Amino acid sequence: MIDSGLILAVAVLFIVAMTIAKGVRLVPQGYKWVVQRLGKYHKTLQPGLNILIPFIDTVAYKVTTKDIVLDIPSQEVITRDNAVIVANAVAYINIVAPEKAVYGVENYVVAIQTLVQTSLRSIIGEMDLDSALSSRDLIKSKLKGMISDDIADWGIVLKTVEIQDINPSGTMQHAMEEQAAAERARRATVTRADGEKEAQILEADGRLEASRRDAQAQVILAEASKRSIQMVTEAIGENELPVVYLLGEKYVASLEEIAQSDNSKTVVFPADIPAAIKGMMGGK
């Protein structure tokens, strides 16, 4: 039979071990433990060796003191000009007072996520679409200012908050693409019309300049013809023989051109060319 003394000794050793285990706690670095005494908050254990009253003091919560990264789910937000955009964020927090975090709010993770989402909707709702898409730093600054004071009551510090994505919704993107395509088509039409207009203006200017030059050439030719006639008249005087000679020369040259034409095979010269020329001049 087992000795009753041995059983008692084992039982005592077990009780002592349990007592030591309950009374001596080693808190690892990066954590703080919240202790309750008889169901009521008593103190917060710091990293290292800590002594508790066994079976009276209990560790109710183990809270990390490291920075916590909270992912803020995407949500649709309506801007001031009734555009729908999709935005999400990420928040970096640190718990500086664990007792406030565990007793001040039921679930600080859900509470902060909801608070960030609500504040984000409020900020973007006061902005136009273009401003919201291009003002991440402004949204970040306003968002941090709005939620920092609220979560401070829970013993939590907001290190920073970043806007991950802020884009138009699928329907809005399609509408913007159609608008951009229409704008590009309009610009192309305007550019093409401007080009055609400029070409027509240049063509008209060219015709006008050509007409002016033709008119100037005709005036110059007329002046030259007038001057040449005056010179010939002055040179000939009453003697018509030189005129007959010049006209005869022109007459013969014309007949030669007619003879070289494909439509003319036979050329007949008048027997008395001088008489013919005089007849052309109205002479007797």
Q: How far apart are CA 172 and CA 177, in angstroms?
A: 9
Q: Is residue 165 a contact partner of residue 85, using CB atoms and an 8 Å limit?
A: no
Q: Is residue 60 a contact partner of residue 70, using CB atoms and an 8 Å limit?
A: no
Give 156's Cβ-side CA count (13 Å radius): 28
Q: Is pLDDT of 67 > 70?
A: yes
Mean of the pLDDT values across residues 140-159? Answer: 91
Mean of the pLDDT values across residues 137-158? Answer: 91
Q: Is pLDDT of 189 > 70?
A: yes
Joined together, the tokens standing for residue 47 give 């990293």
Residue 92 or residue 205, greater confidence? 92
Residue 35 or residue 6, greater confidence? 35
Which element (helix H / strand E) includes 184? helix 170-236
In a 3-state reduction of DSSP, which class is residue 36? strand
Residue 66 or residue 215, greater confidence? 66
In a 3-state reduction of DSSP, which class is residue 130? helix
The pLDDT value recorded for residue 264 is 54
**Each residue's pLDDT tens digit, 230-266:** 776 666 666 555 656 566 666 666 666 666 666 655 5
* Residues with Cβ within 8 Å of residue 246, at least 6 apart in sequence: 232
CA distances from 149 to 111, 156, 163 (A): 14, 9, 19
CA distances from 7 to 3, 12, 19, 244 (A): 7, 9, 18, 167
**Domains of the chain: which residue ranges?**
4-63, 68-168, 171-233, 238-284
Q: Is residue 59 a contact partner of residue 24, using CB atoms and an 8 Å limit?
A: no
The pLDDT value recorded for residue 11 is 76
The pLDDT value recorded for residue 240 is 58
Q: Is residue 128 a contact partner of residue 80, using CB atoms and an 8 Å limit?
A: yes
Q: Is pLDDT of 2 > 70?
A: no
Work out the widest C-alpha separation in the chain, in whole angstroms: 182
Tell me which CATH homologous superfamily contains domain 68-168. Band 7 domain (3.30.479.30)
The pLDDT value recorded for residue 44 is 93
The pLDDT value recorded for residue 175 is 65
Q: Nearest 5 degrees, angle CA 190-CA 194-CA 195? A: 120
Mean of the pLDDT values across residues 177-181? Answer: 69
Tokens 């008209």, residue? 204
First vs last C-alpha separation in the chain:
182
